[in-house]
Structure 1
């Protein structure tokens, strides 16, 4: 039986998913990654729970709901494209955001709520990103050429984060992430 994982993420608007899909298409022909994510799977991870037992998951839903009661929508802007892993054979290709205190605060609320539900979470610093592809399969990856083709910094795509979703993974499927619960953020007046 395949293990499933759960995570909380900022849900992206369809327009942003379309923009990122278009960006992926611009660079796909020149850069061979083993897996390009389905556009419905684009998100910004806020807390990765892993293999979450039902009772803890339910508790996290309650605590996250409480934490987001007064949380407002956040304004974000895509800023760049980057990689995680070896510069010659990266394991992750991602789109990043301009720094946002609002996003950092939202992430902190989710993170604390999940810790209160007894989850042990990753302690690495938060680096908000949207994964586009995984596992580069050729030699001599060229980040500068990738950034040129993607041209994210010159296209100034802005969007609003309006919801947080608990997702469940279904590896091998496309899309791979199933929404379990969604929390809408308040409109700012």
Structure 2
């Protein structure tokens, strides 16, 4: 099965991010395949296709990693694109994260390497994908996107507390991906780091 490890967002945060995407659509931005609000999350590690035994391994070991962490706060702020505005491919919401998020991602990376999942080539850049740029994204869309990116830094701020990590299954359909929560691992109950 295709799977990934992520921070699951509460429904109200997903709804607010879905509203942000809807506002961008309403502004006339075309050529973007938008992420469904219920699928919005923060990916820590994409695993690709894994075996059932790997799910059992993660179910056993991921809680140990999670218990080493206390709840922490993420701040969502502004919009951006990967790899850059000249040739955008992914439209994202920025994440201002404390050190524990980077430590957690590094620990998950080490754990999944034990399963044979190759490490990422790029450094971890926390972000929330809102949409993927399509082939019909034209110069007019690019100009509008640039305006929206500049405006977003002053109008969009949101915070959420993180207290667990989750393993999801990803099934692809013609209508888009469907994510199924397989299990979650809770952080310890200590005070926020």
Band the TM-score falls in, shorter-chain normalisation:
0.7 to 0.9
> Which ranges in structure 2 are unaligned for 5 or more consecutive residues?
none
* CA separation of 1:159 and 1:89: change in aligned 2, threshold 3 A: same
Which residue is equivalent to 2:182? 180
CA RMSD of aligned residues (A): 2.1
Deviation, 1:57, is 2.7
Which residue is equivalent to 2:100? 102
Which residue is equivalent to 1:84? 82
Deviation, 1:179, is 1.0
* Conserved? CA contact 1:84–1:93, under 8 Å: yes
Which residue is equivalent to 1:122? 120
* CA separation of 1:186 and 1:154: change in aligned 2, threshold 3 A: farther
Which residue is equivalent to 1:133? 131
Length-normalised TM-score, structure 1:
0.86
* Conserved? CA contact 1:8–1:46, under 8 Å: yes
Which residue is equivalent to 1:16? 13
Query: Runs in 1 of length 4+ with deviation above 6 angstroms?
Result: none
* Conserved? CA contact 1:78–1:153, under 8 Å: no
Q: Tell me the distance in 2 between the aligned counterparts of 1:131 and 1:166.
A: 18
Q: Tell me the distance in 2 between the aligned counterparts of 1:162 and 1:183.
A: 9
Q: Tell me the distance in 1 between the aligned counterparts of 2:154 and 2:62.
A: 33
State the SS of the aligned residue for 2:73. strand
State the SS of the aligned residue for 1:112. helix
* Conserved? CA contact 2:42–2:128, under 8 Å: yes
Length-normalised TM-score, structure 2:
0.85
State the SS of the aligned residue for 2:146. helix
Q: Tell me the distance in 2 between the aligned counterparts of 1:186 and 1:130.
A: 25
Deviation, 1:128, is 0.5
Of residues 35, 40, 48 in structure 2, which corresponds to 1:37?
35
Q: Tell me the distance in 1 between the aligned counterparts of 2:25 and 2:121.
A: 32
> How many residues are aligned here?
185
Which residue is equivalent to 2:169? 168
Deviation, 1:148, is 4.5
State the SS of the aligned residue for 1:87. coil
- What CA deviation, in whole Å up to 9, does each residue of 1:33-57 have, x standing for no partner? 3421111111111111111112123
Q: Tell me the distance in 2 between the aligned counterparts of 1:56 and 1:28.
A: 39
State the SS of the aligned residue for 1:134. strand
Which residue is equivalent to 2:3? 6
> Which ranges in structure 1 are unaligned for 5 or more consecutive residues?
none
